[in-house]
Structure 1
Amino acid sequence: MKTTGNTIFITGGSAGIGLAFAKKLSTRGNKIIINGRSEERLQNALKELDNAVAIQGDLSVKKDRDRIASELKTNYPNLNIVINNAGAAFMNDLSDSTNNAADKAYQEMNTNYISVIDFTSMVLPQLLQQEEAAVVNVSSIAVYRGNKYLPTYSASKAAIHSYTQGLRDTFSENEKLNIYEVYPPLVNTEFSAEIGGANGISPSEVADELFTALENNQFEVPVGETKLIHTLLEEVAAKIAAK
């Protein structure tokens, strides 16, 4: 896929991985539209970007999704790449009956899964009008196994992984639309600070991997230690297919 001359919408684009995507792609001659809940954070992010604008809104809220999709259609008709990066995660102790685990899980599932499906369905008609387009969903190394610290977050990312595979299969015969999935491991961002993010890789490493994947039409984008797991699973799948 071309890596310049695109119009790219990035959810959760005011910080962390989303901002790293924006920085990488804006320096390559692309028009960048970042989204986030905080107008102040968006304006601060724009100071670090070239050829970029912002649309404030919370994509976990239906009315905001409707408004943003309408604004993209009206003001940015050349939109051809959507990066679904915004997410929610909570430490969720399932052994604590006072933890309100279901409420946390609901918020994670709504933000990381349901909202992505709904918003993607809104922008797909616009993407399908372009000569070349892509949907990029950011999942996680957590799709492969949950843990006691982020069990419901892991479940929401496993759900978006399955959805992404289904979306790719749905449009497998459409050569103009590509479906990518990025699998970051632990990344050093404010988002992951509570779970030891300081020990993670840099957001720029994730952005570099996505850029290379776009150049090479590599639709599966494991990053860092996720590459090892991904390779092992591919080897197992190949052995099963060969039987």
Structure 2
Amino acid sequence: MDLTNKTILITGAGSGIGFATAQSLSKKGNKVIIVGRNAIKIEKAAAELGLDFIVCDVTDEQQVLALVSKVNAQYKDLAVLINNAGVASLYRLGESANAYEKSKQEFETNYFAVVRLTELLLPVLKNQSEAAIVNITSNVSFHPLVLLPTYSDTKAALHSHTVALRLTLSRNTNIKLFEVMPSLINTEATKDMGGENGLPPSVVAENIFQGITADTYEIYVGETARQYAEHFENPLSALEKFNDGLY
């Protein structure tokens, strides 16, 4: 797929992977609109990058409907949706873990918000001669990390949803569906889990561009390709290796 001269919407783009991807894709000749729930943060990012922005909490139905209305009015040529917004709780399952509340917040942002926004923007995406949806999942989408148990659940669910929607859209639309599975990335969100040892967000951004350009529907970043191969060779061994020293 040609990823130039496209109108692109990126959620969770105030920092990290979203910010780096917005910066990269705008430099490649695309019109990029960045979305974030923190008004000050997203406005600052937009000013730095010279991009349009929309303040929106993707878990808030009314704000999402307002975003979709704005897209339909001002960005009728929207061709690429990048679902990047996400939250994670670092903890272990067990007594007093409060897993229900943590998982509820994670699923609202990482899964349900993606499902809703994607469905609402399908009509405008279908109007383009070439369009794409990009879901950012993780290496935990195929085996969990014990320190991110319910976050891992959300990414496994989004992976499954992505596969099903890709198959559905391939039959009667021009919309391509890509999934990006990064390993550890150095962002604000990962600073409490050793993020300084991860790859810079710019690497993810470049992998996204290269993967979409090559029509690679599952884009593995960093250690994910190796981990994925190990998982299918020996799931139990791969899971133990992935969680070595953590349980």
Q: TM-score range by the shorter chain?
A: over 0.9
Q: Deviations over 1:49-85 (max 9, x none)?
A: 24x2000010011111111111111111000100000
Contact 1:7 1:81 survives alignment (8 Å): yes
1:208-219 matched pairs, under 5 angstroms: 208-219=206-217
Structural mapping, 1:193-204, within 5 Å: 193-204=191-202
User: 1:44 maps to what in 2?
Assistant: 44
Give the deviation of 1:2 after TM superposition.
1.1
Question: Which shows bigger deviation, 22-31 or 172-181?
Answer: 172-181
Give the corresponding residue for 2:80: 81
State whether residues 92 and 104 of structure 1, in contact with CA within 8 Å, keep that contact through their aligned partners in structure 2. no
Residue matched to 1:65: 64
In structure 2, what residue type is equivalent to 1:7? T
From 147, 169, 172, the equivalent of 1:171 is 169
- Name the TM-score, length of structure 2 as normaliser: 0.91
Q: CA deviation at 1:213?
A: 0.9
What is the distance in 2 between the residues matched to 1:174 and 1:208?
Answer: 29
Which range is displaced more, 12-21 or 221-230?
221-230
| Distance apart, 1:32 and its partner CA | 0.5
> Cα distance, 1:93 vs. partner?
2.4
Q: Tell me how far 1:229 sits from its aligned partner.
A: 2.6
How many angstroms apart in 2 are the aligned matches of 1:83 and 1:232? 28
Q: What secondary structure does 2:49 align onto?
A: coil
Q: Structure 1 stretches of 5 or more lacking a match?
A: 237-243
- Give the direction of change, closer, same or farther, for the CA distance of 1:102–1:200 in structure 2 (3 Å limit): same
For 2:160, the equivalent position in structure 1 comes to: 162
Identity of aligned residues (%): 41
Q: Residues 19-68 of structure 1: CA distance to partner in whole angstroms, max 9, x if unpaired? A: 01101000011000000011111122123324x20000100111111111
Contact 1:23 1:48 survives alignment (8 Å):
no
Which residue among 161, 184, 191 is the counterpart of 2:189? 191
- Could you tell me how far apart the structure 2 residues matched to 1:169 and 1:87 are? 24
**Aligned AA (1:24):** S
Output the CA distance in 1 between the equivalents of 2:73 and 2:9: 14
**Corresponding residue SS for 2:189:** coil
Aligned to 2:31: 31
* SS of aligned partner of 1:48: helix
Deviation at 1:146, TM superposition (A): 1.2
How much has 1:233 moved relative to structure 2? Answer: 5.9
8 Å contact from structure 2 (residues 10, 81) kept in 1? yes
Q: Give the letter aligned to residue 210 of structure 1.
A: I
- What residue in structure 2 maps to residue 2 of structure 1? 2
In structure 2, distance between residues paired with 1:32 and 1:102: 36
CA distance in 1 between counterparts of 2:125 and 2:210 reads 21
| Aligned equivalent of 1:240 | none
What secondary structure does 1:191 align onto?
helix
Separation of aligned partners in 1, 2:120 and 2:233: 36
CA RMSD after TM alignment: 1.5
Q: Is the 8 A contact 1:206 1:223 kept in 2?
A: yes
Report the Cα distance in structure 2 between the residues aligned to 1:47 and 1:32, rounded to whole angstroms.
13
More helix by share: 2
Q: How does 1:98-177 map to 2 (within 5 A)?
A: 99-174=97-172, 176-177=174-175
Contact (CA 8 Å) 2:3, 2:212: kept in 1 or not?
yes
2:15 is matched by which residue type in structure 1?
A: A
Q: What is the letter of the counterpart of residue 150 of structure 1? A: L
- What amino acid is aligned across from residue 96 of structure 1 in structure 2? E
The secondary structure found in structure 2 opposite 1:134 is strand
Distance in 1 between the 2:64 and 2:233 partners?
39
Query: 1:235: Cα distance to partner?
Result: 7.6
